[in-house]
Amino acid sequence: MEYMTIDSRLVPIEGEKNILAVIRKAGIDIPTFCYHSELSIYGACRMCVVEDDRGRIFASCSEQPRPGMVIKTNTKKLQQYRKLIIELLLSSHCRDCTTCTNNGMCDLQSLAYKVGVHAVRFLNNKEQLPLDMSSPCIVRDPNKCILCGDCVRTCAEIQGVGAIDFAYRGSKMQVTPAFNKCLSETDCVGCGQCRVVCPTAAISIRTNVTEVWDAINDPNVRVVAQVAPAVRLAVGDRFGIPKGENSMGRLVTALRMMGFDEVYDTNFGADMTVIEESTELAKRLESGEKLPLFTSCCPAWVKFLENKYPEFADNVSTCRSPQGMLSATIKEYFKKKDEEEGKTTYVVSIMPCTAKKAEILRPDNFTNGRQDTDIVITTVELIRMIRQVGIKFSEIAEEAADMPFGYASGSATIFGITGGVTEAVLRHLSDDKSHNSLNAISISGVRGNDNFKELTAKVGERDVKIAIVHGLARAGQLLEDIKAGKAQYDFVEVMACRRGCILGGGQPYEEGHNTRSARTEGIYKADRMTPVRYTSENPNLKLVYDEVICGKEHELLHRNLKN
């Protein structure tokens, strides 16, 4: 084993690609702004500086560990260096933390505290630039940008979109779309992954909390919530609940305390999606037309395909997303009751996702001109609402969601993770509905963190070739391969966010590095703990199909592609 010395202690080098990783392994949380393990190394923020035994100062993210190396991470020189960097960053940064949407969640704020900056000696004479509010998903505030470039690299490297980049230079440098356009005029798909990596509020979630309170405070409005699978595994993060724990029960209670009239589970919509999408796949396999079938649950992916590969539009499933299916069904369910009681039903959809905010505005998701989902709030916004009310989230009792849309199968739960939709569909299409069959499917290659997986599954007599992708850059590569005839599939599942909705653009990201694994484990546990694992065994589905949908699948559950 080879070793290096960090702050007078020997630390083994085990294939880490940079010194920073070794330092973190040694239990030291060295500050960084511009380093993310999944992105290319930029080395611009200089927060991660260390000093070697010859007094040389360098960025630990940009250098490889070498055996015998001796470094220190916290000398006087380094402390002063980091402090100066933060002070300089703050000198041209808005300092109204109390009114910032990111207050308390900002890396710049917390590093200024950690590093010990108590005053800023420089005047902020930077010209104030307008906010970009053109996207329904995210807001750009260039005045709060510290030019770390994390968003630029995420958008280009992970999502293959490249909607924003650096422009100009020197003190005039900015991160912006080309020609200072609005985000809505670019190819931005609203995934919010740039917001996830942004250390400040320069990119933040477009919030819709006010609309929800307005609806709740209106006595003539029936306010109905639906909660997506990934939300329940993340909402507890900010309330001291162990990472990845399923907080659905508490969430239901909290929503009722806030004044929601009904609380439903988006998983019910996911169960309907399993039925509709499996039927669609079976049909296409039989006719051999429009293959591969692409999933349509992820709106960022759908938009990406429409922007860059419109020639594949017919391959996208006609299914609405689980959110869309459930909202349309809820509106149908309350139609008569609303008329009788003189009320309107307002559907609030609670999602891990910023792109869902745009999905609800798409005319192909409307039913006869009616917008089915009235508003989307993300997990982060929900947390803010819980705080506004002062609910002690970790202490409240758990309650169950309302019927008939409050009960769903385990297959629906795993929609929140990459590979989950595929796993659910394979379960549904399997003739063998036993435990053995569940296990066999779970190890068939549908699970795992890789951004590209492929497998062949038997459906009836036929071998079905499947690909599972997350990250739109990888999806773009796959589409290129399909176009060039280098790859051929029957079914392709794509999710824009890394590892799926559990790490969506609207989720909270706390300090610490096990968020990903805790949520992954949490979602599979939720599946295991659901008494009904197969969609077809959800007892409420038949009821809803018979009494609410009544043969109107095409109107309510599929995208209306005519207009």
Partner 1 sequence: MLDKSYYQKVDEIINIHGKTKAALIPIMQDIQAEYKYLAPELLTYVAKEIGVTEAKAYSVATFYENFSFEQKGKYVIKVCDGTACHVRKSSTILSKLYEELGLSKDKHTTDDMMFTVETVSCLGACGLAPALTVNDEVHPAMTPEKVSTLVKELRGEANE
Binding site for partner 1 (CB under 8 A): 156, 161-169, 176-179, 186-187
Instruction: Decide: is 154 part of the binding site for ligand FES (CB under 6 A).
Output: no
Residue corresponding to tokens 């649950």: 297
Judged by beta carbon distances under 5 to 8 A according to partner kind, the member of ligand SF4, ligand FES, partner 1, none in contact with residue 59 is ligand FES
In 10 A of CB 171, how many CB atoms? Answer: 8
> Restricting to residues 173-192, which ones interact with ligand SF4 according to CB under 6 A?
175, 188-192
**Alpha helices by DSSP H, 164-261:** 193-197, 209-216, 248-258
Nearer to partner 1, 176 or 444 (CB): 176
Judged by beta carbon distances under 5 to 8 A according to partner kind, the member of ligand SF4, ligand FES, partner 1, none in contact with residue 48 is ligand FES
Nearer to partner 1, 22 or 164 (CB): 164
Nearer to partner 1, 13 or 155 (CB): 155
> Restricting to residues 196-225, which ones interact with ligand SF4 according to CB under 6 A?
197-200, 202-203
By the 8 A CB rule, do 136 and 206 touch? yes
**Alpha helices by DSSP H, 507-547:** 515-528, 539-544
Stretch binding ligand SF4 (CB under 6 A), from 83-91, 145-153, 312-320, 407-415: 145-153
Instruction: Decide: is 145 part of the binding site for ligand FES (CB under 6 A).
Output: no
**Cα–Cα dist 7/78, whole Å:** 13
**Cα–Cα dist 166/328, whole Å:** 42
Query: How many CA within 13 A on the CB side of residue 446?
Result: 27
Judged by beta carbon distances under 5 to 8 A according to partner kind, the member of ligand FES, ligand SF4, partner 1, none in contact with residue 47 is ligand FES
**Cα–Cα dist 461/32, whole Å:** 54
> Restricting to residues 46-105, which ones interact with ligand FES according to CB under 6 A?
46-48, 59, 61
Q: Which amino acid is at 382?
A: L
Tokens at residue 208, please?
Answer: 């819709």
Stretch binding ligand FES (CB under 6 A), from 29-37, 310-318, 383-391, 423-431: 29-37
**Alpha helices by DSSP H, 154-235:** 193-197, 209-216
Judged by beta carbon distances under 5 to 8 A according to partner kind, the member of partner 1, ligand SF4, ligand FES, none in contact with residue 46 is ligand FES
- CA separation (Å) from 510 to 53, 190, 266, 500, 513? 34, 22, 25, 18, 9
Element (H, E) at 49: strand 49-52
**Cα–Cα dist 560/563, whole Å:** 7
State the nearest-atom distance from the C-beta of 12 to partner 1, in Å. 40
**Cα–Cα dist 140/143, whole Å:** 9
State the nearest-atom distance from the C-beta of 308 to partner 1, in Å. 11
| Count of chain residues binding ligand FES (CB under 6 A) | 12
Stretch binding ligand FES (CB under 6 A), from 31-39, 78-86, 342-350, 374-382: 31-39
3-class SS at 264? strand
Instruction: Decide: is 495 part of the binding site for ligand SF4 (CB under 6 A).
Output: no
Tokens at residue 262, please?
Answer: 């009904």
**Cα–Cα dist 219/217, whole Å:** 6
Minimal CB distance residue for ligand FES: 61
Judged by beta carbon distances under 5 to 8 A according to partner kind, the member of ligand FES, ligand SF4, partner 1, none in contact with residue 169 is partner 1
**Cα–Cα dist 231/17, whole Å:** 33
**Cα–Cα dist 354/359, whole Å:** 9
State the nearest-atom distance from the C-beta of 503 to ligand FES, in Å. 21
Stretch binding ligand SF4 (CB under 6 A), from 8-16, 122-130, 151-159, 319-327: 151-159
Residues that bind ligand FES (CB under 6 A): 32-35, 43-48, 59, 61
Q: Which residues bind ligand SF4 (CB under 6 A)?
A: 138, 145-151, 154-155, 159, 161, 163-164, 175, 188-194, 197-200, 202-203
